[in-house]
């Protein structure tokens, strides 16, 4: 039976500069509304012409976030899931490339009956259809428009949401504009002119902002709010300070304390219970009052741009907070480790309590990853390898323990005599890059008594994947005889999913990406176990302080922020869906 209540819409735009944190604003508003018992959906529009971000460089776009249904999406969907209880799909992220691809496919099929295909109405109609597709059985859809007002490529999306408000009724749609109010140190003043111009540019295309979120480094004084309200044609109470925060997890509370959710519901003529932010306040208390510290090195290929590992970083933060620990991250570029002696590698990692080697593609920095893994294995330092990190752990073990000196992956050396890692059998002969990996949620069966099974508290799990290469089971007997344990496999035993070294204090690699399922209020069990092992090593005198970390140097709110200074599912296959990640046993944080 169709829901008689009309769906409401909140459209979030950004102005002045990019990277102000529209994604975090959208996620925080969703968290506030969800805490009131409302049913929420989110949608991110990206104005670039790529069909999806799957083939984009991590240095340009940051992380590719993977959903259960195998969509390669914008990293903002990671914020959406981490701040809410939602499990999103490919319908929740739409690019200009996908819109134009759909329109042109319809034109080729003759769907437009010979009409001239134009941006208005054909492209804008496709954009509105994408909004409607995520509008079923929810109270509010929050739509984030990527890019900055004034960009040519975002104009069709802005025109579409202008039309959408006309179609659904003004009382059912709300425009929130995130803008910058910079502090000019030389003048000693906050300047509102960029915000005035940005809102005016929106008005020129027919959109009047209802609420203005002002990104700034300090709270706006009342007289400045009054000035912005006057020139931007909004109520004074609708000028909200989006102040830099020490932790991104303070943002929902920061906005809620200023009444943003209450104001939005009033504008949308919606009644809802009061927000319950008690869990968020508990989380902030853990951020501000840690009872210890743990130092983790992330040894990867893209460490110059931290957003390349956004979900990974946040999953470590979640786990550290669950243990009431302050997280110190040491970003290690594995390219810089190549050619170094074992003593130099040991010196580089001497200050850390755990080493994590993340995913990636291509041969650059691989020998440095292997050096980091060898150090972790030989020194007893807790090690966690994810996707490529697991594959490199297998290569390192094959070379230095199993006696296969030339072992490698066919990705890095097609002529290697020992292909312990090779291309997925179903992808052999497939050279196209976009969407040709093993993607999305797949079932995994764990071995009883393994560290993975102990962490999950279950044997049947489901995790998200994004890989093109796999463990070569032809070498299974040789590697397991040397001490490697295969502790997780696909239900049909085709794919190796988890490997461990039982004789090591904590050494685990997984082919999937557990970071994609870690939530702010429900940390992932593997990260909890890894951080717990690192804490144990620290308490036993394994290390003291991470090198080259700068806790608190950059405000955390927004894509450019840093968390290092803060205390810091569907499935395919034969097995039933696995359980949601359980809480860390040491953590009373509500799931």
Beta-carbon count within 10 A of 321 CB: 30
Question: Which of 513, 524, 528, 584 is flagged as catalytic?
Answer: 513
Q: Which uninterrupted H or E stretch holds 462?
A: strand 460-467
Cis peptide before 121 (omega within 30 of 0): yes
Q: Does residue 517 come out as left (phi exceeding 0), alpha (psi in the -120 to 50 range) or beta?
A: alpha
**β-pairing verdict for 383-386 and 354-357:** parallel
Q: Are 565 and 287 in contact (CB under 8 A)?
A: no
User: Which string of b and e fits 577-591 if b means at least 16 CB within 10 Å?
Assistant: bbebbbbbeebebee
- Among residues 214, 232, 387, 444, the one annotated as catalytic is 387
| Neighbour-count burial of 223, counting CB atoms closer than 10 A to its CB (0-12 exposed, 13-18 middle, 19+ buried) | exposed
Beta strands 8-14; 173-180: pairing state: parallel
- Determine the length of the chain: 591
Catalytic residue chosen out of the listed positions 72, 485, 515, 568:
515
**Tokens describing residue 75:** 């990293």
Q: Are 354 and 296 in contact (CB under 8 A)?
A: yes
Q: How many CA atoms lie within 13 A of 177 on its CB side?
A: 31
Enter the tokens of residue 447.
Answer: 């071995």
Which residue from 16, 15, 30 is spatially nearest to 86, judged by alpha carbons?
A: 30
The closest alpha carbon to 356, from 488, 469, 509, 567, belongs to 509
Measured CA to CA in angstroms, residue 220 lies from 32, 193, 239 at distances of 22, 14, 9
What element of type H or E holds 160? Answer: helix 155-168
Structural tokens at position 91: 């319908």
Alpha-carbon distance of 47 to 96, in angstroms, equals 5
Note if 79 is an active site residue. Answer: no
Can 515 be counted among the known catalytic residues?
yes
The residues near 138 (Cβ < 8 Å, ≥ 6 apart) are 7, 39, 40, 41
CA distance 112 to 119: 13
Pairing of strands 72-73, 211-216: unpaired
Joined together, the tokens standing for residue 8 give 């409401």
CB 76 within 8 A of CB 89: no
Where would I find the H helices in 110-192?
124-133, 155-168
Cα 17 to Cα 25, 50, 181, 383, distances in angstroms: 15, 22, 11, 39
Closest to 21 in 3D by CA, of 506, 530, 559, 398: 559
* Annotation says 444 is catalytic: no
**Concatenated DSSP letters for 287-318?**
HHS-S-EEEEEEEES-TTSGGGGHHHHHHHHH
Number of neighbouring beta carbons within 10 Å of residue 570: 15
Q: Which sign, positive or negative, has the C-alpha torsion 77, 498, 454, 503? A: negative
Q: Which positions are annotated as active-site residues?
A: 387, 513, 515
């Amino acid at each position: 039976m169709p829901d008689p209540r009309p769906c409401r819409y909140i459209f979030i735009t950004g102005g002045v500069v990019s990277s102000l944190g529209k994604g975090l604003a959208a996620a925080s508003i969703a968290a506030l509304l969800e805490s009131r018992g409302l049913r929420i959906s989110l949608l991110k529009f990206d104005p670039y012409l790529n069909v999806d971000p799957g083939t984009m460089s991590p240095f340009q776009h940051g992380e590719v976030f993977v959903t259960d249904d195998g969509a390669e999406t914008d990293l903002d969907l990671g914020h959406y899931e981490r701040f809410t209880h939602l499990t999103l799909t490919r319908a929740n992220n739409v690019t200009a490339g996908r819109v134009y691809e759909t329109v042109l496919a319809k034109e080729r099929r003759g769907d437009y009956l010979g009409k001239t295909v134009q941006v208005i109405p054909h492209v804008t109609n496709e954009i509105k259809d994408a909004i409607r597709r995520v509008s079923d059985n929810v109270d509010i859809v929050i739509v984030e428009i990527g890019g900055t007002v004034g960009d040519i490529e975002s104009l069709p999306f802005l025109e579409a949401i202008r039309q959408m408000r006309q179609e659904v009724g003004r009382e059912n749609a709300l425009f929130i504009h995130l803008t910058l109010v910079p502090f000019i140190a030389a003048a000693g003043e906050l300047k509102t002119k960029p915000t005035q111009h940005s809102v005016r540019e929106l008005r020129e295309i027919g959109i009047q902002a209802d609420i203005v979120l002002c990104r700034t480094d300090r709270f706006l004084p009342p007289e400045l709010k009054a000035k912005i309200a006057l020139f931007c044609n909004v109520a004074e109470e609708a000028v909200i300070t989006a102040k830099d925060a020490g932790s991104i997890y303070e943002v929902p509370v920061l906005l809620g304390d200023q009444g943003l959710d209450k104001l939005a519901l009033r504008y949308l003529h919606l009644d809802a219970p009061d927000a319950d932010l008690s869990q968020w306040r508990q989380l902030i208390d853990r951020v501000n009052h840690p009872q210890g510290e743990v130092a983790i090195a992330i040894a990867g290929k893209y460490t110059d741009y931290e957003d390349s590992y956004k979900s990974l970083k946040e999953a470590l933060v979640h786990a550290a907070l669950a243990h009431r620990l302050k997280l110190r991250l040491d970003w290690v570029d594995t390219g810089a480790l190549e050619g170094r002696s074992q003593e130099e590698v040991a010196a580089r990692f001497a200050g850390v309590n755990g080493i994590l080697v993340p995913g990636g593609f291509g041969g650059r920095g691989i020998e440095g990853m292997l050096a980091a893994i060898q150090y972790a294995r030989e020194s007893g330092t807790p090690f966690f390898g994810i996707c490529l990190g697991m594959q490199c752990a297998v290569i390192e073990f094959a070379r230095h323990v199993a006696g296969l000196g030339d072992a490698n992956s066919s990705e890095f050396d097609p002529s290697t005599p020992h292909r312990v890692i090779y291309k997925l059998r179903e992808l052999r002969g497939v050279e196209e890059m976009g969407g040709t990996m093993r993607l999305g949620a797949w079932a995994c069966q764990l071995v009883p008594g393994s560290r993975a099974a102990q962490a999950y508290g279950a044997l049947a799990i489901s995790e998200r994947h994004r890989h093109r290469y796999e463990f070569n089971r032809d070498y299974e007997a040789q590697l397991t005889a040397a001490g490697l344990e295969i502790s997780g496999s696909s239900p049909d035993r085709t794919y190796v999913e988890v490997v461990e070294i039982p004789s090591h204090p904590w050494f685990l690699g997984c082919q999937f990406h557990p970071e994609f399922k870690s939530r702010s209020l429900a940390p992932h069990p593997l990260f909890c176990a890894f951080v717990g092992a690192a804490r144990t090593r620290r308490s036993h005198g394994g290390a003291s302080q991470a090198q080259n970390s700068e806790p608190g140097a950059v405000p955390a709110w927004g894509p450019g922020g840093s968390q290092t200074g803060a205390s810091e599912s569907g499935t395919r296959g034969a097995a039933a869906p696995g359980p949601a990640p359980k809480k860390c046993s040491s953590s009373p944080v509500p799931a």
